[in-house]
């Protein structure tokens, strides 16, 4: 059935309009022009043929209107898809900018950490310099270390 509809869809739309008009005119002619001998003789076949033509014309006119409605919906949806794609591109740019900003912040924080560690290492080196330049005599430091070792030995015997 869909193949038949497809083949009939190849016929131009104006032909179905002519079929509809012919069906209406045939029905009117069979009722109004009964005084003409040809029409009065064949009024029943003219009415039947005109009714069939009218039904076929109405059917295909409604099919054409339905197809136009769906084509309009398709065009509207394609427009919405195009708008969504443009909006998606804009959103992607915003997201990429945020990623670049976050990456930049992370790099800056890393540099801050490295500079902090470098400062602390320099401070430790300064502390080491102060220890080396300590004015406390070495004998005092050695006696202190021996006392600490004696305490360890005493605690180990307990």
How would you write the pLDDT of the chain (158 residues) with one tens digit per residue? 678 877 877 889 899 999 999 999 999 988 888 888 887 888 889 899 999 999 999 999 998 999 899 999 999 999 999 999 999 999 998 888 888 888 887 777 777 776 766 666 666 666 666 666 767 777 777 777 777 777 666 666 55
As a whole number of angstroms, the distance between CA 54 and CA 12 comes to 17
Q: Which of 119, 128, 20 is nearest to 64 (CA)?
A: 20
As a whole number of angstroms, the distance between CA 41 and CA 33 comes to 11
Report yes or no on whether pTM surpasses 0.75.
no
- What b/e sequence results for 61-96 when a residue is b if at least 16 CB atoms lie within 10 Å of its CB, and e otherwise? eeeeeeeeeeeeeeeeeeeeeeeeeeeeeeeeeeee
């Amino acid at each position: 059935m869909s193949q038949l509809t497809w083949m009939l869809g190849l016929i131009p739309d104006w032909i179905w309009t002519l079929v509809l008009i012919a069906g209406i005119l045939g029905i009117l002619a069979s009722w109004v022009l009964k005084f003409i001998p040809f029409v009065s003789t064949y009024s029943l076949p003219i009415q039947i043929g005109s009714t069939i033509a009218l039904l076929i014309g109405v059917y295909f006119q409604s099919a054409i209107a339905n197809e136009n409605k769906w084509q309009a919906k398709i065009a509207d949806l394609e427009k919405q898809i195009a708008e969504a794609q443009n909006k998606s591109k804009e959103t992607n740019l915003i997201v990429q900018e945020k990623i670049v900003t976050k990456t930049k912040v992370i790099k800056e924080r890393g540099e801050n950490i490295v500079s902090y560690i470098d400062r602390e290492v320099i401070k430790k080196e300064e502390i080491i310099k102060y220890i080396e330049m300590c004015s406390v005599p070495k004998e005092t430091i050695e006696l202190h270390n021996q006392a600490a070792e004696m305490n360890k030995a005493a605690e180990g015997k307990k």
